[in-house]
Structure 1
Amino acid sequence: MERKSIINFGITTGNYSSFVSQIVTLAHHKESANVCVANVHMFIEAYKDQSFNQVINDATMVTPDGKPLTWVLRYVYGIRQDRVAGMDLLPDLLQQMMLKKLPAFFYGGTPALLEKTEHYLRYAFPDLPIAGMYSPPFRPATREEEDKLVEKINNSGAAVVLVILGCPKQEKWMASMKGRINAVMIGVGGALPVMVGMQKRAPAWLQHLGLEWLFRLMQEPRRLFKRYVITNSLFIYLFFKKIFKVHGPRRLEMRN
């Protein structure tokens, strides 16, 4: 699948179904691969941290989760890119994995989240093979613990590892495990709690307007206010800077 660069941040392009099918193909062959589900927050984290930017650019696939990223692709490259949001990708991928009997391993999150996930999967995806679940301690793992985890996941038969550590921790963890874990790793820290009902998702009309972040801000204002004010403001600045550089001040209208 082709990638397009936005200020040195490579985003994989293609229609929505091609992302699902490509991940399933990688999982079927037990490829050691990492998939980053990119939104504006991840984009800005990568912009500020060159080493993290390299982590993203070295990933097997980077899906355009955030609606604003699809807008940039449309303005800069004229691509009508589907949004590939983690909250849509996760259940669709699990459905395909269930049909093809591809085992899933859930790594990260709290014990309460994993318990909720286990109950949810029993009725939503009853025939999905569960290779295992593990909630790591809130501290860096020792080398011995890391080696045991790799062995545990590889011996479980997992084809896909769903990683629930949050950005940028989960992306860095997947990068460190690429070549060691024989499965496709996908960062779903923001999607899993929504899928299992522990958090609510924004209404469809807010998603369409690219304002899903506003809904999340209203849910957790204290935790997210500073992040979104700084992140979104910087993204808007970089977005218009890129547009002016590519098209000039007279080309700000949306391409048809």
Structure 2
Amino acid sequence: MIDAGKRNVLGVLVNVVDYESAASQVLAAARERRPFTLTALAVHGVMTGVQDPAHAARLNAFDVATPDGQPVRWALNLLYKAGLGDRVYGPALTWRILEECAREGLPVYLYGSTEATLERLSTELAGKLPALQITGREPSKFRLAEPGEPEVIAARIRDSGAQVVLVGLGCPRQEQFAYAMRGLLDMPLLAVGAAFDYHAGTLRLPPPWMQRYSLEWLWRLALEPRRLWRRYVLLNPAYLARLTAQLTRLSRPEPPAGATERLIEFPV
């Protein structure tokens, strides 16, 4: 089990952590019924923080930010000799946590995506993890929270009996949601990105060799070119340029000081 704390990647703090440690921290918080936030950061996630210091401060306030993408793992290894042999991929970590929730009887709440995807995801999980308790599911409303709505959503989640919340709103919306809701819920909130779509079967996983050589972006771009081209064509080169500058000490990016205030307006 590896957990060497957080390290600065372009001003965003990413944990030097493996699957076992990340999952164990989530499950401990679920058993103990205490607030906890986790996100899995690929290049896009890191660059959202680079482009928005207020969002970087939110990301840095998360309990755990895993190196979801291979380039983020490489950054930790190159900058800090972290020795990580693998990334901590959001969909794979989600599955590990769900398997343990099924074994331990820890109820789960699904928040985000569409009703059609949640229906399909629930069916897939029921077939593969029949012991898993899904005590509630709620699709995204694709708008900002209205006054008083966060408390209503939190009450629904608490009343369901859930001990883990999976948030699938996409980056950076899911991190904004988890950050804002953390103070209202005594359970882990996991920003899991495309895990809903992958485990529902609505989005195909790339071949293992593409994942190993950091070509998942190319796979995703081929599947959703109109939606994702800006993310990969513009952000990937910018990430590499900034990482090179940090490696060569031409740039010394500093994490924003302190966490931001609780978000009043955030996506639901």
TM value normalised by structure 1? 0.93
Q: Which residue does the alignment assign to 1:123?
A: 127
Q: Which residue does the alignment assign to 2:170?
A: 166
Question: Please, which of 176, 197, 202 is the counterpart of residue 201 of structure 2?
Answer: 197
C-alpha distance in structure 1 between counterparts of 2:142 and 2:51, whole Å = 25
Deviation, structure 1 residue 198: 0.5
The unaligned stretches of length 5 or more in structure 2 are: 251-268
Q: What SS class does the counterpart of residue 5 from structure 1 fall into?
A: strand
C-alpha distance in structure 1 between counterparts of 2:171 and 2:238, whole Å = 18
Q: Which residue does the alignment assign to 1:238?
A: 242
Deviation, structure 1 residue 143: 2.2
C-alpha distance in structure 2 between counterparts of 1:180 and 1:89, whole Å = 24
Q: Which residue does the alignment assign to 1:224?
A: 228
Q: Which residue does the alignment assign to 1:253?
A: none
C-alpha distance in structure 1 between counterparts of 2:143 and 2:46, whole Å = 25
C-alpha distance in structure 1 between counterparts of 2:176 and 2:122, whole Å = 26
Question: Please, which of 205, 209, 212 is the counterpart of residue 208 of structure 1?
Answer: 212
Deviation, structure 1 residue 50: 0.5
The unaligned stretches of length 5 or more in structure 1 are: 247-256
Deviation, structure 1 residue 240: 1.0
Q: Which residue does the alignment assign to 2:259?
A: none
C-alpha distance in structure 1 between counterparts of 2:178 and 2:65, whole Å = 13
1:23-38 equivalent positions in 2, closer than 5 A: 23-38=26-41
Code of the aligned partner of 2:109: F
Code of the aligned partner of 1:46: G
Q: What SS class does the counterpart of residue 94 from structure 2 fall into?
A: helix
Q: Does residue 1:83 correspond to 2:123, yes or no?
A: no
TM value normalised by structure 2? 0.89
Q: Which residue does the alignment assign to 1:68?
A: 71
Code of the aligned partner of 1:220: E
- The answer to whether the Cα contact below 8 Å between 2:99 and 2:129 also exists between their aligned partners in 1 is yes
C-alpha distance in structure 2 between counterparts of 1:147 and 1:200, whole Å = 35
Code of the aligned partner of 1:68: P
C-alpha distance in structure 1 between counterparts of 2:221 and 2:64, whole Å = 28
Q: Which residue does the alignment assign to 1:44?
A: 47
Q: Give the CA RMSD over aligned residues.
A: 1.2
Q: Which residue does the alignment assign to 2:262?
A: none
Deviation, structure 1 residue 62: 0.3
Deviation, structure 1 residue 92: 1.0
Q: What SS class does the counterpart of residue 178 from structure 1 fall into?
A: helix
C-alpha distance in structure 1 between counterparts of 2:128 and 2:170, whole Å = 24
C-alpha distance in structure 1 between counterparts of 2:138 and 2:39, whole Å = 20
Deviation, structure 1 residue 156: 1.4
Question: Please, which of 11, 15, 23 is the counterpart of residue 12 of structure 1?
Answer: 15
C-alpha distance in structure 2 between counterparts of 1:188 and 1:166, whole Å = 8
Question: Please, which of 153, 162, 181 is the counterpart of residue 177 of structure 1?
Answer: 181
Code of the aligned partner of 1:23: V
Between 1:218-227 and 1:135-144, the stretch displaced more is: 135-144
C-alpha distance in structure 1 between counterparts of 2:126 and 2:163, whole Å = 19
Note the alpha carbon deviations across 1:201-246, whole angstroms, 9 max, x for none. Answer: 1111111111111100011111111221111010010111111118
Deviation, structure 1 residue 144: 3.0
Deviation, structure 1 residue 136: 3.3
Q: What SS class does the counterpart of residue 245 from structure 1 fall into?
A: coil
C-alpha distance in structure 2 between counterparts of 1:158 and 1:237, whole Å = 43
Deviation, structure 1 residue 4: 1.0
C-alpha distance in structure 1 between counterparts of 2:77 and 2:98, whole Å = 29
- The answer to whether the Cα contact below 8 Å between 1:70 and 1:80 also exists between their aligned partners in 2 is no
C-alpha distance in structure 2 between counterparts of 1:142 and 1:225, whole Å = 32
- The answer to whether the Cα contact below 8 Å between 1:35 and 1:62 also exists between their aligned partners in 2 is yes
